[in-house]
Chain A
């Protein structure tokens, strides 16, 4: 966690400095930058490690609505609700994608821990959802099968 954080802060600092120099952002827009390390991991285990979420307890309070069979992997709608009290963030991983980490949503004061997003699923895979609450990660899975349709080769 510590290492990951320091890395991120460092990177964020550099990005921000460059952006400020270029006049791209106003100072109040500055915040935690894109987690390059976690998004760059190529296996589920490494992505979880980078997120410091290698251990997470199964939870029935994380609801995932996604099609069991998606006709096209380019667009797979996933709807997630966390009923865990004080959910701080929701993380979406597509286990078999080349880069498993797909998205991380941080819910600040006022937000409902709910999100619906369309993701790409390269092949039939588990969609793994983590919810961060009370300083711990919880996990739920949903399998999505990807098929194809169409003609003409």
Chain B
């Protein structure tokens, strides 16, 4: 009856798998299918919708006038065409970067206020996370097709691609140190070769995502931030060019896959 028997199952030293590796994989796939079928993500979408329509900031307006690339307020399929170049900001932007832009310009909020809590926890998602859940959900069934024709979009892709393979930091890691070779794992966690389309496609089609292990909803900005944390780097700025470039590299590599998120992961 120890405390450890409850929730922090993730902290329990590994209970071993008795079944053969192949059976185990099949069963884990079944598990993943089952958790996806009973995910609370829709609740976050509802909250996100309310936040999208909530009047905020010095200008006391909602985000409904925000142009995510398909025109002011157009949400259907908008997430699937990000990241892309926006001439009004003269920047390549991913969803969160664009939302932040709309919060500061359209709503008149300070960057500091709007980014005070971008990563939430299991008790309460962040505003960005709720909004991401809602907006991403409006692209279900739409193939992922980030902007790849503008020179700035190509440059972002190149920067992301090169950074993916650049080794640095306290432990000499690049993204490819873990996500470089086929069939590798950290502990029991399989590591997709994200620079290859066949591995990137299912990933970009399901982020942002709910993680059952910690009951948290996570965005691509968080995913990239957390990778750098585990790589023992200093912290990348939220919505910085480097994070958008990596998101662009990943999304363009996985382009073509119909979006089926927000996902539910282990």
Contacts and interface: CB of A to CB of B under 8 A. Distances in A.
Contact of A72 (B6, B14, B212): B212
Interface string B209-230: 0001111000000000000011
A85 B27 CA distance: 31
Contacts of A149: 187-189, 213, 266
B6 A122 contact: yes
A38 B155 CA distance: 64
Contacts of A122: 5-7, 9
A-side interface mostly:
loop
Contacts of B5: 96-98, 122-123
B186 interface: yes
Interface residues of A, number: 32
B170 interface: no
Given A68-B27, A69-B28, A74-B213, A145 B18 contact: yes
Interface residues of B, number: 34
Contacts of A69: 17, 19, 24, 27-28, 31
Contacts of B9: 72-74, 120-123, 146, 148
A110 interface: no
A102 B253 CA distance: 44
A31 to B, nearest CB: 26
B89 interface: no
B10 A148 contact: yes
A151 B187 contact: yes
A71 interface: yes
Interface string A64-90: 011111111111010100000000000
Given A42-B1, A74-B213, A152 B230 contact: yes
Given A120-B6, A146-B15, A151-B187, A77 B230 contact: no
Contacts of B18: 145
A117 B24 CA distance: 23
B34 interface: yes
Given A69-B17, A145-B18, 7 more contacts: A42-B1, A66-B34, A69-B31, A71-B28, A73-B7, A98-B5, A123-B15
Interface of B: 1, 5-7, 9-10, 12, 14-19, 24, 27-28, 30-32, 34-35, 37-38, 186-189, 212-215, 229-230, 266
